């Protein structure tokens, strides 16, 4: 699934440093403001220790984790919605992603001047929210006018769109995101069709300094309180440290993590949280050629999951043979799992669980 998350933030918050560390993309320009409108795109592996556990019992030539596409979007300045800097040229890139990683600066540095002179994460979140809300209003206003004109002719769908857009305009005029509205599934589909930026799910990324790698300081605490009020989450990342870790050999990386009292790079948690933000989870296939994690939406059925591997698998789906990682750890081999009656035959209505290990039987 080619799902994308867009990294956004004000200039000089460390957004591109985090993108480069996430994607191991190498050295890119540190400050995009007013320089380029073309975003950088990278593919990020979603770390999953379950793949290594499966490999303990199944020899294979390669291990393929799940992945996400990450888009690094130019720094958004105050006034972007009215054309300041690159204006709507780069705001349009945000409309195309499935979810947003909002990087917020929580570190002080004499070398990297904050655009507003001081470090204040809540002010910065408000600044970006206002710009994105203003940009969405530019979409909502003409769409509302059109829907109201059609509604006067008795068009029920247009009437429903008009009422929904009025609600969206009301929250946007308060500089609140459209995602703060309580919407039913039909309303969510309508809103999605307009490509509103503030309707997208957001994960806040607190870029901290090396003295607060766990994100326990007051700046990150304020962000967590803000995110909790929106039903969101915060991941603390030290962009500088993560950039250094990305360049180290695995043994040196482990040593540095231990020295910093970290179990894993913070970017591993960030990738997993972004994955969950999109409503995704993984199932696994195993074999001598590869052990692989496949990405599916939570709630996907067995035929839909088979279709992620190949469309023919969904079309010719017969059944799925399913077992769990716990079964593999207990019985060690697939023949032993079958002998214990733990290999389940599941039909077309089966909804896959996160971490299911699956063989698909199909006929084409």
Pairwise CA distance, residues 108 & 110, whole Å = 7
Q: Is the pLDDT of residue 117 over 80?
A: no
Residue 87 pLDDT grade (very low, low, confident, very high; cuts 50, 70, 90): very low
Q: To the nearest 10°, the Cα dihedral for 287, 288, 289, 292? A: 40
Q: Are residues 103 and 65 in the same domain?
A: yes
Report d(CA 308, CA 337) in Å as an integer.
25
Both 244 and 324 in one domain: the answer is no
Residue 275 has pLDDT above 90, yes or no: no
Last residue of a domain, one of 245, 277, 309: 277
Considering its fold, how many domains does the chain have in total?
Answer: 2
Residues 239 and 318 reside in one and the same domain: no
Residues 256 and 306 in one domain: no
Residues 176, 263, single domain; the answer is yes
Domain that holds residue 151: 4-277
Do residue 108 and residue 167 come from a single domain?
A: yes
pLDDT band at 321 (very low <50, low <70, confident <90, very high): very high
Look at residue 271 in the predicted model and tell me its pLDDT: 87
Q: Assess whether pLDDT exceeds 90 at residue 276.
A: no
Domain containing residue 184: CATH number: 3.40.50.300
CATH number, domain containing residue 320: 3.10.20.30
The verdict on residue 284 lying in a domain is no
The larger pLDDT score, comparing residue 359 to residue 94, is at 359
Does 73 share its domain with 110? yes
Residues found in the chain = 364
Regarding whether 67 and 22 lie in a shared domain, the answer is yes
Two structure tokens written together for 137: 């209003």
Question: Which of 8-17, 81-90, 108-117, 217-226 shows the lowest per-residue confidence on average (mean pLDDT)?
Answer: 81-90
Distance CA 119, CA 15 (A): 15
Do 63 and 136 sit in the same domain of this protein? yes
pLDDT for 257 equals 92
**Pair type for strands 290-297 and 62-64:** parallel
Does 307 map to a domain?
A: yes
Tokens of 332: 């060690």
> Are residue 315 and residue 229 in the same domain, yes or no?
no
Q: How confident is the model at residue 54 (pLDDT cuts 50, 70, 90)?
A: very high
| pLDDT(173) > 90 | yes
In the DSSP assignment, the letter for residue 299 is T
């Amino acid at each position: 699934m080619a799902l994308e998350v867009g990294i956004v933030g004000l200039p000089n918050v460390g957004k591109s440093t985090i993108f480069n560390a996430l994607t191991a993309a190498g050295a890119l320009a540190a400050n995009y403001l007013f320089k380029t409108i073309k975003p950088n795109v990278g593919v990020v592996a979603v770390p999953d220790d379950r793949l290594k556990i499966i490999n303990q019992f199944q020899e294979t030539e390669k291990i393929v984790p799940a992945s996400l596409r990450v888009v690094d979007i130019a720094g958004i300045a105050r006034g972007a919605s009215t054309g300041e800097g690159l204006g709507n040229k780069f705001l349009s890139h945000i409309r195309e992603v499935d979810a947003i990683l909002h990087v917020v600066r929580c570190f002080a540095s004499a070398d990297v001047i904050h655009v507003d002179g001081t470090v204040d994460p809540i002010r910065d979140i408000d600044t970006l929210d206002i710009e994105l809300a203003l940009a969405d209003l530019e979409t909502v206003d003409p769409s509302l006018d059109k829907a109201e004109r059609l509604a006067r002719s008795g068009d029920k769908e247009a009437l429903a769109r008009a009422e929904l857009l009025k609600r969206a305009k009301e929250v946007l005029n308060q500089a609140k995101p459209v995602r703060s509205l309580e919407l039913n599934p039909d309303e969510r589909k309508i809103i999605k069709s307009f490509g509103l930026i503030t309707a997208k799910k957001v994960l806040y990324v607190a870029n901290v300094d090396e003295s607060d790698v766990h994100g326990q300081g007051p700046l990150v605490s304020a962000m967590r309180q803000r995110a909790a009020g929106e039903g969101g989450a915060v991941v603390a990342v030290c962009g500088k440290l993560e950039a250094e870790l990305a360049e180290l050999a695995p043994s040196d990386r482990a040593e540095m993590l231990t020295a910093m009292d970290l179990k894993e790079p913070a970017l591993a948690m960030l990738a997993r949280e972004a994955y969950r933000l999109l409503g995704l989870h993984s199932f696994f296939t195993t074999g001598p050629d590869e052990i692989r994690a496949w990405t599916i939406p939570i709630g996907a059925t067995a035929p839909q999951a088979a279709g992620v591997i190949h469309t023919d698998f969904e079309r010719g789906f017969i059944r799925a043979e399913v077992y769990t990682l716990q079964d593999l750890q207990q019985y060690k081999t697939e023949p032993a799992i079958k002998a214990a009656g733990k290999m389940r035959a599941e039909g077309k209505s089966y909804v896959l669980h996160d971490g299911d290990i699956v063989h698909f039987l199909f006929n084409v």
